[in-house]
């Protein structure tokens, strides 16, 4: 079985690369922008059709949330139009398609965890481009959209690494407390993706196309997240909780984006770890 993984140098892509070593029977093809620039749509389409993949995992995305506000064209090119192009190529060869999306598609005005049935209302350019890209995948008979949230890992740029870097320079750090979601270890998401593939390939489970939410368990604010990082690393940092309005950014963020995971847990019988437990494991590898 042949699996394409786009965005192989990102957080999720590198975790999938690490897991790939456990699957001797699967042939993985990992690509990044240098090897497969998703903006070069004719090349991407030809590449997918020629290679004849069984599964495509689209872990690539334009993720510069604030930069997207002034770079709309590239954000939509990568997060939407390129997705449409890949889905068309996947349909041509009958490949199953797993696409990674984000909690940012919601406006954060709900007081309870968001389900897959909730209507999206993206606030910024990044969020709008991701929401549009989802729709192309959901129209495909073999398309799965996995929405996740607050991704971090030992790789790339993320909140955990930012906090650890700041701790080397400062004794006092201000962190937003009025944005609430769930930190998600990219390795946990990678394992979920591979579980989906295994269930369908090894257990002959018919693919259930559609939309699924996946994040680690539990709820936290960014302030809570930072507090846990310093607690587990033994760093004595004075944290100050601040409002979002005190830390203005170009792109708006949802104030509440906790995801309800009942659907994916019911179908795939998966036990999802609490975000604090996964954070401990990630920090053990990172520091």
**% of the chain exceeding 90 in pLDDT:** 93
* Domain count along the chain: 1
Q: Say whether 71 sits in a helix, a strand or coil.
A: coil
Q: Is 126 a catalytic residue?
A: yes
Residues 259 and 213: beta-carbon distance below 8 Å: yes
Q: How far is CA 167 from its chain centroid?
A: 26
Mean pLDDT of 63-74: 96
Global confidence as pTM:
0.96
The pLDDT score that the predictor gives to residue 208 is 87
Answer positive or negative: Cα dihedral of 4, 45, 98, 183: positive
> pLDDT tens digits, residue range 205-264?
778 899 999 999 999 999 999 999 999 999 999 999 999 999 989 999 999 999 999 999
The pLDDT score that the predictor gives to residue 206 is 75
Residue 162 placed within a domain: no
Partner residues linked to 56 by β-bridges: 4, 97
Residues 52 and 93: beta-carbon distance below 8 Å: yes
Residue 179 placed within a domain: no
User: What is the CATH classification number for the domain harbouring 26?
Assistant: 3.40.50.720
> pLDDT tens digits, residue range 101-158?
999 999 999 989 999 999 999 999 999 999 999 999 999 999 999 999 999 999 989 9
DSSP secondary structure of 7-19? -TTSHHHHHHHHH
Q: Looking at 62, 114, 126, 136, which residue is catalytic? A: 126
Residue 282 placed within a domain: no
Residue 168 placed within a domain: no
Domain ranges, residue 27: 2-156+184-216+258-273
């Amino acid at each position: 079985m042949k699996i394409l993984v786009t965005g192989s140098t990102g957080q999720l892509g590198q975790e999938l690369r690490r897991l790939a070593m456990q699957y001797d029977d699967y042939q993985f093809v990992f690509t990044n922008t240098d090897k497969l620039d998703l903006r070069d749509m004719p090349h991407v389409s030809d590449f997918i059709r020629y290679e004849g993949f069984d599964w495509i995992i689209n872990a690539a995305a334009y993720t510069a949330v604030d930069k997207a506000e002034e770079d709309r064209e590239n954000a939509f090119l990568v997060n939407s139009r390129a997705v449409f192009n890949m889905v068309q190529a996947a349909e041509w060869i009958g490949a199953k398609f797993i696409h990674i999306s984000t909690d940012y598609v919601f406006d954060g005005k709900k007081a309870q965890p968001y389900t897959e049935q909730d209507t999206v209302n993206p606030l910024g350019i990044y969020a709008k481009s991701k929401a549009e890209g989802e729709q192309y995948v959901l129209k495909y008979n073999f398309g799965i959209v996995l929405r996740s949230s607050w991704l971090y890992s030992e790789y790339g740029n993320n909140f955990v690494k930012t906090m650890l870097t700041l701790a080397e320079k400062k004794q006092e750090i201000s962190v937003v407390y009025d944005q609430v979601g769930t930190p998600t270890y990219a390795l946990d998401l990678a394992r979920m993706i591979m579980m989906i593939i295994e269930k369908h390939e090894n257990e002959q489970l018919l693919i259930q196309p559609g939309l699924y939410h996946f994040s680690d368990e539990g709820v936290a604010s960014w302030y809570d997240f930072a507090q846990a990082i310093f607690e587990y690393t033994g760093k004595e940092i004075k944290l100050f909780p601040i409002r979002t309005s005190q830390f203005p950014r170009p792109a708006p963020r949802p104030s509440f984006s906790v995801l309800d995971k009942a659907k994916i847990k019911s179908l795939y019988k998966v036990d999802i770890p609490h975000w604090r437990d996964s954070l401990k494991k990630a920090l053990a590898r990172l520091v």
